Each structure stands twice: as structure tokens, then as C-alpha cells.
Structure 1
Amino acid sequence: MPRKVGPAGREGAAARILSGKGASSGPVSAGRDGGVTIAVRAKPGARLSAVTDVTSEAVSVAIAAPPSEGEANAELCRYLSKVLEVKKSEVVLDKGAKSREKVVKILVSMTPDEVLEKLKKEASS
């Protein structure tokens, strides 16, 4: 049975996940295993994939794929690998496969600041 969330509980799932131990403030943080995690607010069904906004809670990403059969998740990982200039296999969906609030893990030795800088640059272009 789906869980109902009231107005006070609308903090994004990705933000709640990242607000635990070791998380830095903002949507990008160092992962426990040496990678970098990104809180993503996905917007599937867009005409073009694009980073639309970077807030203190999540990185908003429009995804040029429908939200069915994992197509949007695959496109999200492919697009983020292009933006961050890493291999597709180094970008994996960690949490939120069936939600718009997702956590993506980057499996390379980049700092959260480097990742955030690239995402902000993409959002402003």
C-alpha cells in the first residue's frame, strides 16, 4: 500500500537519504565507498536532456526519455556521464528507480566540488 505524505513531509527522498551521516550540505556529497553521490530530481519525457537547476536539495534534470521500462533511468545515467566526462559504466543509479527523487553514484575519484562545478556549468549553458 502506498505511503501518504503530508505537506510537512514533502522534503525530497533524495534529500532525506543524503541528510544522514557523512553528507555535506547540498545535492552532491562524498560517498562512503570513495565515489560521489548526487541527489537528482528527474523530469522524464522532456524534448532534450538537460540540467535545469541546481539547488541546495537536488540537481533537477530533464530527461529525453519516457518514464517506462527503465528508459529514463538509462538516459539519466548516459546524460550525466556525458556532462561529467566519465564512462557510462561509472555512473549508476543508487536509489529511486521508480521515483522522481533519485540518488546517482559516480564511481570515479572526483571531488564533490568538481562534480558540482560541472553540473552548475551545464545548468547555466
Structure 2
Amino acid sequence: MLGRVCRPAVSVTAVARAAAVRAHTMPRKEGKEGKGRKTEPPAAAHPAGPVVLDKSGSVLIAVHAKPGSKLNAVTDVTTEAVGVAIAAPPTEGEANAELCLYLSKVLEVRKSEVNLHKGGKSREKVVKISAAITPEVVLEKLKSEASKS
């Protein structure tokens, strides 16, 4: 009996149950439309751009942070993110605090209404604006700030 590994006995029902679970979690093949299958809405229905409105009514901004710059500036506005140069080092949250402060000045809202939502240790961040402002106004202010630099 040397070299053999003892395994606990597994019942047939446990194996069948695991197979059934796997069968229900497998992705379906894409087929013809119709026959009651749900289809995704066209891509145009999804919000495009770096500024969107979330379920709670707050505005979310996708930001590509560039910490350690000489001064604060909105460098570019693309369909994926808003490029923001930050004049603070990326240590101990200094750049995150400076980013929120700078965006509050650009968007003309209170500092307390601008919070880091995601990406505390990443260059790709999501900033949440809880002020009464529309995504269109936010995008326009960011684009006008980008054109100044």
C-alpha cells in the first residue's frame, strides 16, 4: 500500500449534483435571435465617455492620474478617461487628495462633494461628484479646462 493516496469516498449523488451545477453555469452559445432569448441592447444605448451618471444620481468621472507633475492640469479628455496631471507625489494619498481638490475647483463644487470612488492605489481612478450637476456640464467644464493647457 505504499505510494497510494487515500481519498474519502464521494457519493454518486454528490458527483451528480456537482455536474448539474457546472451544467447550469456554462455560458450559452450565441444563436439566432428570437425564441424568447434576451439580447443585449445596441452599443449606442450604453453611455460612452469618461463622465456618466450612476444609479444614485451622482456623477462618476473616469480619471487617468499623472502624479508628480509640475502643476495641476486637465491634459486630455478621451472616450476612456480624463487625463489629469497632479502636482503632488503619489505617496500616502497626497495625489488623491490633490486630485479631489483640483477637480472641485475646476467643476466649481464644494470639496466635500468630490470623493475618490475607486482606484486609490492606481493611476486609473473613478471620482464621484455628489453635487447637483449634470454629466454634460461636467464634461464641458473638463474640456474647456483641457483646452487652456
* TM-score using structure 1 length: 0.81
Deviation at 1:58, TM superposition (A): 0.1
1:115 alignment partner in structure 2: 138
User: Match of 1:90, as an amino acid?
Assistant: E
Greater Rg over alpha carbons, structure: 2
| Unpaired stretches in structure 1, ≥5 consecutive residues | 1-21
Aligned residue pair count: 104
Among candidates 35, 39, 49, match of residue 58 of structure 2: 35
Residue 23 of structure 1: CA displacement?
5.7
Distance in structure 2 (CA, Å) of the matches to 1:104 and 1:31: 12
* Residues 63-86 of structure 1, C-alpha deviations (whole Å, 9 max, x = no match): 000000000000000000000000
- Deviation, 1:98, is 0.1
Please list, as runs of the form range in 1=range in 2, the aligned pairs for 1:38-117 lying within 5 A after superposition: 38-117=61-140
Whole-angstrom CA distance in 2 between matches of 1:33 and 1:77: 20
- Could you say which structure has the higher strand fraction? 1
Which amino acid is 1:27 matched to? Answer: P
Deviates more, 1:28-37 or 1:65-74: 28-37
Any runs of at least 4 consecutive aligned residues in structure 1 with deviations exceeding 4 A, and if so which? none
Give the aligned CA root-mean-square deviation in angstroms.
Answer: 1.1
CA deviation string 1:6-37 (max 9, x = no partner): xxxxxxxxxxxxxxxx9610000001111100
In structure 2, how many angstroms separate the alpha carbons of the residues matched to 1:53 and 1:76?
A: 15
Report the secondary structure of 2:70's partner residue: coil
> Residue 8 of structure 2 corresponds to which residue in structure 1?
none
Shift of residue 109 of structure 1?
A: 1.5
